[in-house]
Each structure stands twice: as C-alpha cells, then as structure tokens.
C-alpha cells in the first residue's frame, strides 16, 4: 500500500528544494550589471600578462635589475650590513630586483630592513652574516613618548648607526615596554633616534638600551624571497631578545615572504619569527642552536608553510603561536629540542603536521597546550609523523592538554628505544573532546594511550 498523502508531501518537498536550487543558480549567474553570466563566460587569465601599474600579476621576465655586494669584485663593496642595506634601498627605489650577496663574512651592527619585491640571494654557506657582540647600559634621563633622544649611563660600545632595543617596565601596570630604533646622531652620551619613542621611558621603569636587533627585519612588506645564506646570531656574545621582536629573520605584518635554503643559527632568541604575517613559506632551511624557538609562526599568521627544514637544539622546534590557522608543517626533521618538537596553542586551529620526524625531544614530541575551550587548538591534524624517544623517564609522544577538541591523530609512529619507564605514547587530557586516533603505531612505551577522560 502506498500512502498518497505522504507521497504528495514528499513530492512537494522535492519540488520546493529543486526550485530553491534553481533560484540560487539563477541568482549566481547574474553579474554586477544584471546580465546573465556563466563561469565559463569569464575570461581566463593570460599566460603572458602585460606589466600594468599596481597589478601584482607580472610577466616572467628573463632578466631583472640585479645588484651584487661583496668584499671585492661587486657593484657595491663592503662587509657590513650597510652595504647590503644600500643595495636593498637602491632596488626599492627601482621597484624591486635581486640583491646578490657574494661569498664573505659580513658583520652587522644593525638590521637590514627589507623592502617589498626584493630577492635576497646569497652564495650558500659562504655568505655569512654575523651579529656583532651586544652592549647594554642604563638610561640616565627620563624620556617621554614624543621624545627622539635618549641619554646613556655609559656610551662605550654604542656608535651612530647602531640598531638598539630599548626596554623598560611600565610603572603603571608592570608590563614590558620594548622599542627598536637606530642611533643617528650623538653628543657624548646623548643620542638621537631615527624615530620618536611613542612610549614613555621613565627612570622608575629601569629603562635600558642594548645593541640588539634581528639580522633581517621586514615590516609591512610583501613579495620577498630570502635564499642561500648563513645567518649567525653570535649567541655567546649577545644578550637575549624575545622572539616577538627579533630573530635571525624577523617579520611583522608582512605578506608572501619565502625563505629557502637559509641557515639560521646561534641567535639568543628565535631563529625565524614572523608575527601577523600571511602566506609565509620556510623551506629547506636549517634553524638550530637558538635560545628560543626554531620556527615561530606568530600571532594571527594565516597559511604558513614550513616544509623540509632541519630544526635542532632549540627550546621549541615549531611553535604555533596565537591564532595561527591553516598552516602546514611537513617533512621537517626536528631533533634534540629542549621541550616540545611541535607545539599548538591559543586559537591555533585547522593546521596540519604531516610526515615530520621528531627525535629526542626534551619533554614531548607534539604538544597541544593547556587552553580554555574558547582559546583551544581545535581541528588540528597530525598524520604520518615519526616521534622517537621523547622526554625523560616520563616523557610523552603526543600530549593533548586543556579543553582541546576535534583533533585527529592518524598513521603516526611513536617509538621508544630507551625502555618503557613511565613513558606514554599518547596522553589525552581529562577535558579534551572528540579526539580521533586511527592506525597509529606505538612501541616501547609503558602506556600506549593514556585517556584521562575515562579515569
């Protein structure tokens, strides 16, 4: 028996649904002028576009403006950051080009500030950029936010042209004040800055000045490539500077920056750090022996790609900071890290860590940090990673802390070769939700999976 009333209702629903789909299709097929338009009617992008003012789509030119720098036999001759900055500024005036750094050792007393649309191309490990030793002293006079000068207690070790970092405690709230500037004039221990302070530096906050800076600094730039260089932070002879402000390479509010085949080593802070930067690529690089983080995709950065890098002997290997989304960490070798090989935390969502090898992490191979639900590292995936010998006697391969949800662990190999002790393959915190494990192989641990939600 067929219920004709039910059939009528079903057919009516099908018709209404189909009519809605047809209406939506018709709506989408009308262009801004009200004329029908299909996707196939849209013109395709040219394979050989013309160069148009303001259009980022460019032809593939056979030859572009190139400037060489080096200790000898170069367009610009020198062995400090000033010659590299001069070449970068020349190319910026022309709208971009290639800056070739010839073999040699270049000593830095300030950062090289990168312009947009520039390609920095070194000569591999033979192009060595090294930071000079840092000097630190106290300030001996109050400076207000509109001032453009400071007075130092001891000016020995400071020169006109130096990059400096001014630090103090805010006397009202105890927060950190950090200002980066360049010294451009002096009279004794009184120095003029390239820009006004824009923060108060009062003696009650114990302000200091130090010759600290990143080797390469990019601020509000786009379409940059950095290739085939060795950047040395000279960690043993430099004071620490937080990776939110510096590193061998430091980027702030940038787009489409690619770093490839670069050695970043020995910085007393981070190796490569970028904050609120989008579509950053770090590929085939080495980042090792830093006091801070190997790679630091920083706050708000979207779509970072970190592929085929070697990251070693840092505090954390790859640190997903605040609100890093749609990132990829793939094919990296991360070894002898002091805490976590890869770390996800505050609002770091929708990222993928795949096919990485994480060896001998000091505490944990992959960490999902302890966050409340609104700030949790949700919807991240870890696939086909090899995590070997994590932590001390109570080390953990993958540790999911806090109110973390919708995490997938699939096809990972977690192995312990030093004996089980109290080591754990995967630990799922008591407040975690929707944690999916599939086809993971865990060997040599005391406990393969510790699910604290069930205890």
The separation between the first and the last C-alpha atoms of the chain, rounded to the nearest angstrom, is: 53
Number of residues assigned to the chain: 455
Name every residue whose Cβ is closer than 8 Å to that of residue 252 and which is 6 or more positions away in sequence. Answer: 217, 218, 219, 220, 274, 275, 276, 277
Based on its alpha-carbon atoms, the radius of gyration of the chain, rounded to whole angstroms, reads 27
Rounded Cα–Cα distance for residues 256 and 356 (Å): 24
Q: Which two tokens stand for residue 439?
A: 């086809």
The count of other CB atoms within 10 Å of the CB of residue 259 is 29
Indicate if the alpha-carbon torsion angle 159, 165, 166, 167 is positive or negative.
Answer: negative
CB 400 within 8 A of CB 407: yes
Location of each CATH 2.160.20.10 domain in the chain: 66-132+214-454
Q: In degrees to the nearest 10, what's the CA dihedral of 155, 161, 162, 166?
A: 80
Q: Where in the chain is the domain with CATH 2.40.30?
A: 136-210
Q: What DSSP letter does each residue of 167-195 carry, written as one string?
A: EEE-TTT--EEEEEEEEEEEETTEEEESS
pLDDT of residue 56: 76
Phi-psi region of 417 (alpha: psi -120 to 50; beta: other; left: phi over 0): alpha
Paired strand residues for 421: none
Residue ranges for the chain with pLDDT beneath 70: 1-41, 455
pLDDT of amino acid 370: 97
- pLDDT of amino acid 62: 81
Quote the pLDDT of residue 455. Answer: 63
pLDDT score at 52: 84
pLDDT of residue 41: 67
Q: What is the pLDDT of residue 23?
A: 36
- Give the CA distances from residue 341 to residues 128, 309, 345, 348, 354, in Å, rounded to whole numbers and listed in that order: 27, 13, 13, 16, 13
Superfamily (CATH H level) for 66-132+214-454: Single-stranded right-handed beta-helix, Pectin lyase-like (2.160.20.10)
- Sheet containing strand 364-368, edge to edge, reads 112-113, 216-219, 249-252, 272-275, 293-297, 316-319, 340-344, 364-368, 396-400, 424-428, 447-451
Residue 118: closest CA among 87, 82, 80: 87
**CA–CA dist 278, 297 (Å, integer):** 10
Q: What is the pTM of this model?
A: 0.88
What topology does CATH give the domain 136-210?
Elongation Factor Tu (Ef-tu); domain 3 (2.40.30)
């Amino acid at each position: 028996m067929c219920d004709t009333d039910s059939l009528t209702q079903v057919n009516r629903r099908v018709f209404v649904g189909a009519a809605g789909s047809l209406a939506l299709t018709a709506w989408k097929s009308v262009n801004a002028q009200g004329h029908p338009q299909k996707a196939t009617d849209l013109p395709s992008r040219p394979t050989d576009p013309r160069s148009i003012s303001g259009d980022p789509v460019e032809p593939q030119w056979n030859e572009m403006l190139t400037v060489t720098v080096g200790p000898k036999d170069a367009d610009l001759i020198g062995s400090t950051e000033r010659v590299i900055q001069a070449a970068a500024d020349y190319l910026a005036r022309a709208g971009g080009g290639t800056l070739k750094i010839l073999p040699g050792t270049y000593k830095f007393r300030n950062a090289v500030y990168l312009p947009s649309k520039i390609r920095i191309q070194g000569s591999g490990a033979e192009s060595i950029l090294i930071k000079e030793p840092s000097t630190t002293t106290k300030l001996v006079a109050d400076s207000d936010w509109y001032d453009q000068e400071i007075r130092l207690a001891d000016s020995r070790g400071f020169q006109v042209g130096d990059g400096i970092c001014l630090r103090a405690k805010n006397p009202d709230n105890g927060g950190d004040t950090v200002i980066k500037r360049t010294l451009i004039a002096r009279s004794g221990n009184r120095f003029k800055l390239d820009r006004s302070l824009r923060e108060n530096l009062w003696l009650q906050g114990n302000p200091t000045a130090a010759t600290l800076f990143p080797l390469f600094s990019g601020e509000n730039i786009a379409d940059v490539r950095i290739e085939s260089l060795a950047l040395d932070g000279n960690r043993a002879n430099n004071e620490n500077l937080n990776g939110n402000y510096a590193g061998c390479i430091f980027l702030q509010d940038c787009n489409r920056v690619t770093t490839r085949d670069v050695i970043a080593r020995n910085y007393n802070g981070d190796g490569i750090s970028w904050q609120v930067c989008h579509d950053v690529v770090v590929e085939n690089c080495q980042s090792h022996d830093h006091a801070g983080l190997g790679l630091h995709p920083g706050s708000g950065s979207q779509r970072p790609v970190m592929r085929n890098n070697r990251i070693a002997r840092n505090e954390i290997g790859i640190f997903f900071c605040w609100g890093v989304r749609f990132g990829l960490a793939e094919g990296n070798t991360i070894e002898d890290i002091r805490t976590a090989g890869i770390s996800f935390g505050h609002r770091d969502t929708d990222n993928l860590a795949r096919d990485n090898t994480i060896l001998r992490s000091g505490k944990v191979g992959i960490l999902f940090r302890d966050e409340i639900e609104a700030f949790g590292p949700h919807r991240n995936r870890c696939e086909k990673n090899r995590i070997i010998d994590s932590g001390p006697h109570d080390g953990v391969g993958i540790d999911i802390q806090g109110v973390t949800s919708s995490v997938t662990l699939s096809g990972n190999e977690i192995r312990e070769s030093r004996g089980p002790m109290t080591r754990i393959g995967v630990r799922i915190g008591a407040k975690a939700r929707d944690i999916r494990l599939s086809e993971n192989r865990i060997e040599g641990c005391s406990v393969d999976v510790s699910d604290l939600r069930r205890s």
